[in-house]
Structure 1
Amino acid sequence: MVRTDLPYVYCNSKKLAGSRYKDYWRFRRDGVDIALPGAPGDPAFHARYSELMTRADHLAQVEANRGADRHSFSFLCNRYLASTEFAALALKTQDDYRRTIEARLLPVLGPERYDAIGRASVKAVRDATARKHSPRTAHKVKQMVSRLYSWAEEEDLLPDSFVNPAGGIRKIKAKSKPIEVWSIEEIRLFLAHCAPWLKTVTLLALYTGQRREDLVTMDWSAIQGDIVRVRQNKTGEPLDIPCHPELAKHLKKVRTKFGGAVIRDSKGKPMTADALSYEIHQAVRKIEGMPHRSLHGLRYAAAAMLEEAGCSVIEITSIIGHRTYQMAIKYARQRRDAEAAMRRVGLHG
């Protein structure tokens, strides 16, 4: 039997069209009041409930032991991780923030007084992270410290004269690794030799131009007629993308009556973004004559195809995003210019 009397859980009922009602379940404890997915009995409901209870219990323990710990950096981090602001973040963002705090910051700064940490300490942690991992990971350290102290200021946990210790710290410049744009010939070669399920991935990436996180969360219910509806994970923006005839033809062929995730692996299971990138990498590596190409390169190819079709910058960036458009066109134009130059050499040779 499914429990519906869980502590700190309550239900709101909303009247829908006709005489039907829909139940919305929520969690409320210690000032936190947020929605729960689904209903009691659903795995996602109980996973989220367990997470919220663990966080609330942790905060209660922190508050109970706030005596000697009250001014430590650990205290500040624990308060933030149990805050309403943190709970309101997307789950992926929560995981990223928690990982940075627990793996990079607490082992070094945990015992220190949070109101005595200065820029030199933050830079030392950032630089050590850059040496051991990457400039990108090191920058996350700086960003996380900045966010922690901004939140602490909002909560009146800092002296009035305190200056955010991450302020003014510049980002470490990393060597940029260019992402190769797939050519039409490379796309055709890949489609001719890849596993059938990867054709769906390739065509979706190419004709919607979406990030890998948006591809793996794409649901059959979002494909309605000649429109693909997407809510981007990174920006939260809803998009209505016209379905290219070739993509529409393929989706009609592979669509099932069961619904759910559009992209599924060879065993029919939904995938994570990392797993999808890995499978593309492995498939590319196995095809003779295929150069190294990434899933993100298909997103760049989408931008290049839209430009070649005569779309305006506004039209392209409405789907791809401005920065992705700039980088994609930079690499695509370089390739086209090089090919044009070699054709001229051939004509005058």
Structure 2
Amino acid sequence: MRLVCSLTEETDDKEKPFHERAGLIHVVQEKTGTSVWIPIHDRLRPELESATRSAKGIYIVTREDGQPYAVEGWKSVWQRDKEAVGLAHTTKHGLRKNASIELIEAGCSEEMARAITGHKSSQSLSIYAKEVRQKAMAKMAVKLWNVAPVEKVEL
């Protein structure tokens, strides 16, 4: 997981608050090395507003002294603290998988999801999409089943 994000700006107007200027974050996926530009999600904007800035980028998660973690330090903190934030069952890879699933559940195509997640091929993403479609189909099936008339059969 890379914590540094380079930000582009839609305007040179430095008087505007950050969230009104920033449009995209640049992320290099650790697993694939894929470089992706991602529009900033509305729920991320407040985090970026309060994030620590340096010449290298913006750090969303920092040590208590405000400095960024080294990669190994971050891995240790993640392992130690993920339960406290309700993510005990996840791995760093699991976060990428969860993002993939959320994008597909939101109605994004696999290609759109790959543009965010940095998956190089559709192979693994199609597995997640299949899981999402199966879950949706099962929910629809049970809805129909719940309202279907029940005929008693004498044995």
TM above 0.5, yes or no, is: yes
* Structure that is richer in strand per residue: 2
| 1:326 corresponds to which of 126, 129, 132 | 126
Q: Give yes or no for the alignment of 1:268 onto 2:52.
A: no
Q: Residue type of the partner of 1:329?
A: A
- Post-superposition Cα deviations, 1:90-128, rounded to whole Å, max 9, x if no partner, equal xxxxxxxxxxxxxxxxxxxxxxxxxxxxxxxxxxxxxxx
- Post-superposition Cα deviations, 1:178-225, rounded to whole Å, max 9, x if no partner, equal xxxxxxxxxxxxxxxxxxxxxxxxxxxxxxxxxx1xx23x24xx1221
TM-score of the pair, normalised by structure 1: 0.30
Gaps of 5+ in 2: 9-21, 148-155
Provide the rounded CA distance (Å) in 1 between the counterparts of 2:134 and 2:64. 36
Provide the rounded CA distance (Å) in 2 between the counterparts of 1:292 and 1:325. 20
Q: Give yes or no for the alignment of 1:282 onto 2:80.
A: yes
Gaps of 5+ in 1: 1-211
SS of the residue 1:240 aligns to: strand
Q: Give yes or no for the alignment of 1:303 onto 2:103.
A: no
Whose relative contact order is higher, 1 or 2, with alpha carbons under 8 Å and at least 6 apart?
Answer: 2
Q: Residue type of the partner of 2:79?
A: H
For 1:25-104, list aligned pairs within 5 A: none
Deviation, 1:238, is: 3.4
Change in CA separation of 1:290 and 1:297 when aligned onto 2, cut-off 3 Å: closer
Deviation, 1:343, is: 5.8
- Post-superposition Cα deviations, 1:125-161, rounded to whole Å, max 9, x if no partner, equal xxxxxxxxxxxxxxxxxxxxxxxxxxxxxxxxxxxxx
Change in CA separation of 1:331 and 1:278 when aligned onto 2, cut-off 3 Å: farther
Deviation, 1:244, is: 0.9
- Post-superposition Cα deviations, 1:271-315, rounded to whole Å, max 9, x if no partner, equal 34444344233223346x865222222211211122122222222
| 1:246 corresponds to which of 18, 22, 43 | 43
4+ runs deviating over 6 angstroms: none
Change in CA separation of 1:285 and 1:231 when aligned onto 2, cut-off 3 Å: closer
Q: CA contact under 8 A between 2:52 and 2:62: conserved in structure 1?
A: no
* Structure that is richer in helix per residue: 1
CA RMSD of aligned residues (A): 3.5
Provide the rounded CA distance (Å) in 1 between the counterparts of 2:64 and 2:127. 32
Give the structure 1 partner of residue 13 of structure 2.
Answer: none
SS of the residue 1:246 aligns to: coil
Percentage identity across paired residues of the two chains: 24
SS of the residue 1:281 aligns to: helix
- The structure number with the bigger radius of gyration is 1
